[in-house]
Amino acid sequence: MSADTPRRIVLLRHAKAEWTQESDHERPLAERGRMDAPAAGRRLAGAGITPDLTLCSSAARTRETWKLFVGELPQRPKTVYDDRLYEASLGELIAVLNETSDEVTNLLVVGHNPGMHALADALAGETEGDLLARMNRGGFPTSAMAVIEFNGSWKSVEHGVGRLTAYWPPHE
């Protein structure tokens, strides 16, 4: 696959989690999150987007979100659970994207805020209409997804590389 192939990044913030006494890393999904995660999966499938690879934070709430989300997709992509996605900075998230093989066309990242919102905002250099403003007004709530498209190698992912082509908050 050529390095100038059109590529797509789907950023998914984990579904709504419980506020329990457990460590933050081990917090489970709340009932609302268990309903929102499959709905987000149906939305992505309905848009005709099937990930080739999913990178998922190792936190319990992201793993549970992914388990419920993936059941709605037409096929199950390869999944990598990555500790670096938990509490990752923008620079760390971009570094993880830069490691992606150019065999991957559609990448799904299941992570946390503020990272998912910051990454979507940073990568979306060219966006038509008010999509970026709408995403930024919404604050990237739990179960929100952003789709960013770009041409080139994953090694070239940096600020402003792509364009935001979809933003799907939950319940919209």
We report the CATH number of the domain holding residue 116 as 3.40.50.1240
Chain CA centroid to CA 94, Å = 13
Question: What is d(CA 168, CA 20) in angstroms, rounded to the nearest whole number?
Answer: 27
In the block, tokens 């060219």 appear at 126
Which is it for strands 6-13 and 106-111: parallel, antiparallel or unpaired? parallel
Residue 158 lies inside a defined structural domain of this protein: yes
Residue 128 lies inside a defined structural domain of this protein: yes
Residue 66 lies inside a defined structural domain of this protein: yes
Give catalytic status of residue 14 as yes or no.
Answer: yes
Residue 164 lies inside a defined structural domain of this protein: yes
Q: How many domains does the chain have?
A: 1
**pLDDT averaged over every residue in the chain:** 94
Residue 113 lies inside a defined structural domain of this protein: yes
Asked if residue 143 lies in contact with residue 117, where contact means CB atoms within 8 angstroms, the answer is: no
Residue 111 lies inside a defined structural domain of this protein: yes
The reply to whether 61 sits in an annotated binding site is: yes
Q: Which tokens is 32 given?
A: 């609302």
Beta bridge partners of 11: 109, 146
Residue 1 lies inside a defined structural domain of this protein: no
Q: What pLDDT was estimated at residue 105?
A: 97
Catalytic residue among 14, 112, 117, 149: 14
Give catalytic status of residue 72 as yes or no.
Answer: no
pTM: 0.95
Structural domain including 57 reads 6-168
Question: What is d(CA 144, CA 61) in angstroms, rounded to the nearest whole number?
Answer: 14
pLDDT exceeds cutoff 60 at 61? yes
Q: What pLDDT was estimated at residue 151?
A: 95
Residue 149 lies inside a defined structural domain of this protein: yes
Catalytic residue among 18, 25, 72, 87: 87
